[in-house]
Amino acid sequence: QLLRDARSRAAPVRRPQPTTARRDLPDLRFAAPDAADDAAAEPAASQVRAGSLPRLVEQLTYERYVDPQFAATFLLTYRTFTTDAELLRLLELRFDNRPLDGDADDLPLAPVGAEEQERLEKIRFRVTGVLKQWVSVYWADDFEPHGELQAALQRFVDGRM
């Protein structure tokens, strides 16, 4: 009876509604403009709620800042929406400054000026950090049982890093 009385007096729980539709954050420079279903984040907190895989990888390796919480969450959950081989492929493309959308494997590297070279170095640093975290935390889950993933990572590290 006491519990029923307390429930009847309690205000109903309501989920907060976003006040504005979020597009890109002003300081984020993505490869392409947002599509309607591409990415969404809370405007005030700048927290990612959803996104296409290429956009999530760009966010993961964004050159202006590191988001350790996003990286940890992404590496914990990526298996629900992609494969480890696809993630490694996208990280390689990002490291080489190639577009992550479409058939980017055949595209040449974009020309890089002094400012773009500095940006590319920061991206490469971020990709290296993600790979380090991925290998150190999830080696037993992702790399140890998959020799082909180990070999692909080894080729990437030996060939381009």
What is the DSSP annotation of 9-21? HSPPP-PPPPSS-
31: confidence class by pLDDT, cuts 50, 70, 90: low
Q: How large is the average pLDDT for residues 127-145?
A: 94
Q: 20: pLDDT confidence band, cut at 50, 70 and 90?
A: very low
Question: Which tokens in the block code for residue 17?
Answer: 């509604």
Provide the sign of the torsion angle of the four alpha carbons 99, 125, 34, 90, taken in this order.
positive
Quote the tokens at residue 7: 């429930």
Residue range 65-83: mean pLDDT, rounded: 93
pTM recorded for the entire structure: 0.69
User: Residues 112, 107, 82, 39: is their CA dihedral positive or negative?
Assistant: positive
CA-to-CA distance for 81 and 36, rounded, in angstroms? 19
Mean pLDDT of 29-38: 51
Residues whose CB falls within 8 Å of the CB of residue 39, separated by 6 or more in sequence, listed in order: 24, 48, 50, 51, 52, 55, 56, 59
pLDDT of residue 43: 38
CB atoms within 10 A of CB 48: 20
Q: What is the mean pLDDT of residues 7-30?
A: 50
Which one-letter amino acid corresponds to residue 46?
Answer: S
